[in-house]
Amino acid sequence: MGMRSFSDLQARYRFTSSDESHLKTILPIAGENSAVFKMEFNKELVSYKRIREFFPDNEKLEKHGELITEWFLMLFSGPFDANYTKYVRSIARAHVKNGVPIYYITDAMNFVRDFCISMIDDNVELPVRSKLKRSTNRIIDMNLGILTSEHLDRYVEKRDFMQKVEGGIIRFSKRFTQILNIVLMISLVLISIGITADIIISLLKIREIGVQNGVIGALGSILVLWVMIEITDTEINHLKGQKIPISAFIGVALVAFVRDSLVSTMSIEKNYITTVISVFAILLLGITYWLVKKKER
């Protein structure tokens, strides 16, 4: 809470020594009406829907009634100093600890205000009522400010904690993603080097396996290398902040089918059904790749 000392509260709510005197004038009247206040306040609490969560039996409700009556009398008796602020703040912490909704506090304080105003109207002569009401409103506002600000402080603390946790997770995720991207780039380079070596080996063995088989095998590896180049370029652009195009993945599938078709042509036992399916898949993927590429441009 921004106002930690009683002097801060006095300045904020314009609470003066005259207000203290006015409240102490009301104290005898408050003492005479304390029993009625306790009874009426308990009736107010019972009307709240969730009140049995906090007071499961009448004994606890009665005990709370005694504490609230003590607080009620201190509204007018004081002492109005740092100890008073500490006392009210302890009540606020108890509310927060027990999970009392903040709207229960504001509703209860509205009841207290109405009761005090009615008590003054019924027991004080007209010429002095207004100044006594003003002082009563100020002390109630001070109490309400402390009670509600404790809830707000806890909310801010939780929000700040969650923001720190969320920020930490995001920072960790970004760094982890960067590491994965680096690993991916290294893997792509190593795979590309391996494919290049395979192309060279296929060309060197062309006399052993035959020109046709050597050329087709090398061509298949070249297609795969072309895909690797596309994927590597895509990953580089991604590291620069660009989006990954869908066409890159379609291109991988397309080249895979083309390479499979080339390999199947070298097979002694040719399966024409598989070949037809591969050609049909290549056609569909080719059309899809063209349409997606056109859309991306």
Q: What is the CATH number of the domain that holds 137?
A: 1.10.490.10
Give me the residue label for tokens 């740092």.
Answer: 82
Residue 207 CB partners (closer than 8 Å, separation 6+): none
Across the chain, mean pLDDT equals: 80
> Are 43 and 128 in a shared domain?
yes
Does residue 274 belong to any structural domain of this protein? Answer: yes
Distance, CA of 150 to CA of 98 (rounded, Å): 13
Query: Does residue 94 sit in helix, strand or coil?
Result: helix
> Are 278 and 142 in a shared domain?
no
Range of the domain at 224: 205-296
The mean per-residue pLDDT over the stretch 61-78 comes to 88
Instruction: Give the chain's domain count.
Output: 2
Distance, CA of 197 to CA of 181 (rounded, Å): 24
Does residue 80 belong to any structural domain of this protein? Answer: yes
Q: Tell me the range of 46-60, 81-95, 111-125 where mean pLDDT is highest.
A: 111-125
Instruction: Express the helix, strand and coil content of the chain in percent, nearest 5 each.
Output: 85, 0, 15
Of the residues 148, 165, 182, the one at which a domain ends = 165
Does residue 109 belong to any structural domain of this protein? Answer: yes
> Are residues 264 and 278 in contact, defined by beta-carbon separation less than 8 angstroms?
yes
What the block records as the tokens of 91 is 């009540």
In this predicted structure, which of 40-44, 73-77, 200-204 has the lowest mean pLDDT? 200-204
> Are 136 and 227 in a shared domain?
no
Does residue 271 belong to any structural domain of this protein? Answer: yes
Does residue 181 belong to any structural domain of this protein? Answer: no
Residue 90 is inside which H or E element, if any?
helix 82-97
> Are 121 and 63 in a shared domain?
yes
pLDDT given at position 238: 73
Does residue 240 belong to any structural domain of this protein? Answer: yes
**Residue 107, Cα to own-chain centre: how many angstroms?**
29
> Are 37 and 139 in a shared domain?
yes
> Are 160 and 56 in a shared domain?
yes
Does residue 175 belong to any structural domain of this protein? Answer: no
Give me the residue label for tokens 């080339």.
Answer: 262
Cis bond before residue 56 (omega within 30° of 0)? no
- Amino acid, res. 273: I
